[in-house]
Chains A and B, each alone.
Chain A
Amino acid sequence: MKFAFRALLATLLVMFAFTGAWGQPTYCGTTGLLTQPTAQTLNSGNICIGLWGDYSEWGKTPPAEYDATIMPFSVTLGLGSFLEAYGSFPNLMFNDEETDSGRGYALIGTKLRLLGKRSSPVKFAIEGQFRRAVSIDPDVDGLTDFLGRGILSLKIRRFGVHGWGGVLDKEENLAAGIGPFEDIVGYGGGIEFLPIDRLRIIAEAEFYEEDQPIPVEAGEWMAGFQYHLSPHLTINVGYGGPLEGDDIGLAPETRILVGLSSCQGIGSYSRVQRKSLPEEDAVIETKKEPVKTLKIKSLSPLLTRPKQLDVAPATMPQVPDTGDAPESLTDPSPPAIPVVSLPTLLEAAPASTAVEVPVEEVQEITLDSSQNIAKSEAFARNFSEQPVSPLGPPAMGTVDRAAVDTAKKAKVYRRFILPEFSFEVDQFSLSPEGSAALSMIAVELSRDNKWYAMRIEGHTDSTGSERYNNELSYNRAVEYAMHLVAKNGVDASRVFVKGFGESSPLADNNTQEGRSQNRRVELLVLVPAE
């Protein structure tokens, strides 16, 4: 993090040292092709900001005085599960070089995903973008062009390809009686490849063809990578050149982009968590932590049946050994591997202190369904508080077979029943909001080494046959488990997946509202009881 800050400072210093001259704008914009989008939209409630350095070199024709350095700034907002809005300003350095390096556009635009869910391989989106020219050239300054396009993208595992086509409507042409939507046709495409989770390698190309008033063609290419320094900080580096139009000053000979971007909300990759058991004293320490605001509802049989738990130390029934159980695992003393602490994990996570709970209390966390929880800020802010009395000793003493006391009884430490975890009738796919909330929980838990097991429990309403509902509830729970383990790096050995079928409703199955509440997944995070 410190390094990133220093690097940013260095970039700023270097760039302010440049001065430049007047030149010809290009079509591809100031943040270049590195930000050329697929049909994916930013997750709801997330915000991304980027600060870029854009250096362009113009070769022989036009003359080298066109070389320029600018610092564009961009913001993207995820507005809904399929809608994003963005804007950018061409040059925070205010050195009037924006038209040299790239066209000095202040952008505002929105992208709407029409086809394909978040996890679908094929997606289609339409995008509308207003580009207001910011320039020292009075003929161009203040003119607003419009770009409308459709983007189709295909992504299979770690490889993606996308293409787009659209029209660019120039106000200066419109004023000259050309258009609308007749003057410039644009098209382009690119490929992306993710060799590791943190790294995205990109190659893009983009063309514009102008028929009137005179036929003109322009095209640029760029290749680069985006690397996650941390889940919330990405470094973007790109190198590009002309495909067409460099001889008439519509594409630079060389363009170098270096940018830092940060997305708040959910990181698009998460660190793999360590899976050591918490130290006992670490657990005790956390008892001093203040209780943050939480809204508690009494929903759980865990709270209503404490008597069941009050059991004397039990002798274990023998698990008989049979011939078909060759791989018995009872070694009580696994090799001790030194614990490596996770430093500065997700410093930027905004909701990181949202749900701190003292360990000795069994609590349930339920979010008010009227809120848009996917908005991470709201997620952090909108809990209200109500204390719950401790459950008493929820787990009983245990007789460990082995001399080493490794036996742990668990108690519920956190319980998540979020509105995002609910389902439509007969559905088990994870909603974008649910996926965002899951990632947030995973991030939260990875900061917090107290827990050691996670139960993921699927439930259905009472509609349909019991057998079918058993399957459906497993489908739901498995979907969540897959996401947590495969996408968020939760340790698989600590995950317990279970389908309850319709056996454990939260609310009355006779009402629509009740059934909707019953279609859910619950996440239970457990800590050792003693």
Chain B
Amino acid sequence: MKNLFIHLVILFILASFSHAAKVKVESASNADSLLNKRDVICTVEFGANSSTLTAEAREVLAGSADRLRSLDLEKKMIRIEGFASPEGDRERNYKLSIERARAVERFLRTHHGVSLDHYITGFGPSLPEEVPAAGKRVVQVTVYDNPWGRADIPVEVTGGE
């Protein structure tokens, strides 16, 4: 009786592993054409495990602020993209990457009058090869063709309940 059960248990474990292996293959993915039209305005570096802007970073951002302000947001979209190095916990790194992007966003908005009309994102540590910043402790301020076809702000309020 006991032997039968042990065999069953082993069977389940084996099945589980083969299942896990299958899922790994699935995560292979196509390159995202979203990233093809990506122009990097500037790259800002961070210290390990830090999302605080260095003096150098502030200087770089200040140098790009004029250009960001003068972009025609009907046609272009600003996206501030955070990255993290691959060491350590994946979730923590994702958080770090988006916190870095936020720090850059906050600085541009509060110190250099760049409007709210931009997006941020955190890539975490890993990304397909087409983004060279992946796996580094940086934020890149990037510009894409505006995919939404419109500026988001100003907004007029209509509709509702």
B161 is an interface residue with CB less than 8 A from chain A: yes
- Is B36 a contact partner of A500 (Cβ separation < 8 A)? no
On chain A, the residues within 8 Å of B74 by CB distance are 311
A496 to B155 Cα, complex, angstroms = 18
A250 is an interface residue with CB less than 8 A from chain B: no
Encode contact with B along A442-458: 1 for CB under 8 Å, 0 otherwise.
Answer: 00000000001101000
A106 to B160 Cα, complex, angstroms = 51
- Is A494 a contact partner of B32 (Cβ separation < 8 A)? yes
A301-B158 CB under 8 A given contacts A235-B16, A340-B26, A493-B127: yes
- Is A334 a contact partner of B130 (Cβ separation < 8 A)? yes
Question: Min CB distance, A467 to chain B, in Å?
Answer: 7
Nearest to B153 among chain A residues (CB) is A503
- Is B149 a contact partner of A396 (Cβ separation < 8 A)? yes
How many chain B residues touch A (CB < 8 A): the figure is: 87
Binds B, one of A72-80, A146-154, A170-178, A480-488: A480-488
- Is B15 a contact partner of A3 (Cβ separation < 8 A)? yes
Interface residues in A254-306 by Cβ distance below 8 A to B read 254, 256, 258, 271-272, 274-277, 297-305
- Is B149 a contact partner of A340 (Cβ separation < 8 A)? no
On chain A, the residues within 8 Å of B42 by CB distance are 322, 324-325
On chain A, the residues within 8 Å of B122 by CB distance are 481-482, 485, 492
Question: Min CB distance, A507 to chain B, in Å?
Answer: 5
- Is B153 a contact partner of A485 (Cβ separation < 8 A)? no
- Is B120 a contact partner of A498 (Cβ separation < 8 A)? yes
- Is B119 a contact partner of A327 (Cβ separation < 8 A)? no
A408-B34 CB under 8 A given contacts A271-B23, A334-B130, A492-B94: yes
Question: Min CB distance, A484 to chain B, in Å?
Answer: 10
A331 to B37 Cα, complex, angstroms = 8
For A302, A309, A474, which residue has the most chain B Cβ atoms within 10 angstroms? A474
Question: Min CB distance, A519 to chain B, in Å?
Answer: 15
A189 is an interface residue with CB less than 8 A from chain B: no
- Is B30 a contact partner of A274 (Cβ separation < 8 A)? yes
Question: Min CB distance, B55 to chain A, in Å?
Answer: 16
How many chain A residues touch B (CB < 8 A): the figure is: 108
Nearest to B119 among chain A residues (CB) is A496
Nearest to B159 among chain A residues (CB) is A298
- Is A276 a contact partner of B30 (Cβ separation < 8 A)? yes
A297 to B161 Cα, complex, angstroms = 8
Nearest to B105 among chain A residues (CB) is A474
Nearest to B15 among chain A residues (CB) is A3
Neighbour of B98 across the interface among A339, A406, A497, CB < 8 A: A497
On chain A, the residues within 8 Å of B140 by CB distance are 327
- Is A452 a contact partner of B34 (Cβ separation < 8 A)? yes
- Is B34 a contact partner of A324 (Cβ separation < 8 A)? no
- Is A324 a contact partner of B28 (Cβ separation < 8 A)? no
Encode contact with A along B1-40: 1 for CB under 8 Å, 0 otherwise.
Answer: 1101110110111011001100101111111111111111
Nearest to A55 among chain B residues (CB) is B5
- Is B72 a contact partner of A317 (Cβ separation < 8 A)? yes
A346 to B132 Cα, complex, angstroms = 34
A18-B102 CB under 8 A given contacts A274-B30, A493-B35: no
A57 is an interface residue with CB less than 8 A from chain B: yes
B interface list, Cβ under 8 A from A: 1-2, 4-6, 8-9, 11-13, 15-16, 19-20, 23, 25-43, 60, 63-64, 67, 71-72, 74-76, 79, 89-92, 94-95, 98, 102, 105-106, 109-110, 116, 118-124, 127-128, 130-133, 140, 143, 145, 147-150, 152-161
A interface list, Cβ under 8 A from B: 3, 7, 10-11, 14, 18, 53, 55, 57, 67, 69, 157, 196, 198, 227, 229, 235, 237, 254, 256, 258, 271-272, 274-277, 297-305, 308-309, 311, 314, 316-317, 319-320, 322, 324-332, 334-340, 342, 394-396, 398, 400-402, 406-411, 452-453, 455, 467, 470-471, 474, 478, 481-482, 485-487, 491-501, 503-508, 517, 526, 529
